[in-house]
Amino acid sequence: MSYTFSDVLDRIWRYCLLLLVAAIFIFPLLLMFNASLKPDSQLLADMSSLRAFLPVGDISLDNYRAALTRAPVALFIANTIFVTATTVALSLIVCSLAAYAFVFLEWWSRDLLLAVIIATFIVPFETIAIPMLMLANTLPWVSSNGLTFGWLNSYRVQIVPFVADGLTIFLFVQFFKDLPRELIEAARVEGATPMQIYRRVVMPLSGPVIATAAILKFLAMYNQYLWPLIATQSEDYRPVMVGVQYFFQLSLAWGELMAYLSMITVPVLVFYLFLQRSFIASIASTGVKG
């Protein structure tokens, strides 16, 4: 296959544009990682040149050791991963079931309720944070100590309010609407129940939307700050974003802060790379054979 000069030139411009876009996203990560290896004096001095993006000068892991001493980083990361993973898993199940009911089942006021759910997109979380806090402080819970009231300072207060959300339901609804109805009708003719259709027909074909919803939900939960800040008071339950404030107490240490941000960024990158491969594989394997 031969290429003309114009084809080669077009490819060069295209790759240059892609490299520029990639650099816009990669440079902040390079700056953060390299800054985490430098003492504050050198870090601030390098900000006026390209040295800020290079691991040059007085390089060490002292900032990482200091960050682990200043804040319980491992505990914050473990709390965040547990809360995020649990919320994502429950959200995919609950929201996909709700979307299945909206798309494939006939019931009264279905379209009205879906419109109300979509309308919740325009409601800022800050407007409902205080009412949610008052409600969470009065909800009952059965534990080893018997019946107690109040969900504050716990994992459940960070998980349950975010299991169902309008965006995830909307994504599943839009995807389910494009699925071939012939498959659903064929399963019904074979005598499959609604739950069997959901588990064996609909969900196996929903790989792309599952990956997309999981990524969006993961990022939203991993970056939670306001709600955990007001709903938890103990370090035993607080996530990584609340831990950032530890580095603004007493003296501000930029190198330690960059080290902390580098450590809490690793789980996000690992999750995204893993799910990206699953996302591409699901798109390649999803289809209907005639």
pLDDT in tens, 173-183: 999 999 888 88
Per-residue confidence band for 290, with pLDDT thresholds at 50, 70 and 90: very low
Q: How far apart are CA 144 and CA 165, in angstroms?
A: 30
Q: State percent of the chain over pLDDT 90.
A: 39
Residue 282, both tokens: 């699901």
Q: Backbone phi, then psi, for 223, in 5-degree steps?
A: -95, 10
DSSP state of 57: S
Per-residue confidence band for 90, with pLDDT thresholds at 50, 70 and 90: very high
Per-residue confidence band for 288, with pLDDT thresholds at 50, 70 and 90: very low
- What is the pLDDT at residue 196? 92
Q: Is 147 left (phi over 0), alpha (psi -120 to 50) or beta?
A: beta
Spell out where the chain has E strands.
Answer: 140-143, 146-149
Does the pLDDT value for residue 25 go beyond 70? yes
Asked whether 208 and 279 are in contact (CB, 8 A), the reply is yes
DSSP state of 149: E
Q: How far apart are CA 92 and CA 168, in angstroms?
A: 8
Q: Which of 130, 124, 121, 120 has the alpha carbon at shortest distance from 227?
A: 130
Handedness of CA 98, 103, 105, 108 (dihedral sign): positive
**For 199-222, how does the pLDDT look when each residue is reduced to its tens digit (9 = 90+)?**
999 999 888 899 889 888 998 999
Q: SS3 for 148?
A: strand
pTM of the full structure? 0.85
Does the pLDDT value for residue 78 go beyond 80? yes
So where are the chain's domains?
1-60, 70-285
Asked whether 286 and 208 are in contact (CB, 8 A), the reply is yes
- What is the pLDDT at residue 250? 64
Q: How far apart are CA 239 and CA 222, in angstroms?
A: 8
Does the pLDDT value for residue 278 go beyond 70? no
DSSP state of 155: S
What would the CATH number be for the domain defined by 70-285? Answer: 1.10.3720.10
Does the pLDDT value for residue 279 go beyond 70? no
Mean pLDDT of the chain: 86
**For 234-269, how does the pLDDT look when each residue is reduced to its tens digit (9 = 90+)?**
889 999 999 888 888 767 788 889 999 999 988 888
Q: How far apart are CA 247 and CA 42, in angstroms?
A: 19
In one-letter notation, the amino acid at residue 164 is A
Helix axes 166-177, 110-119, angle to 10 degrees: 130
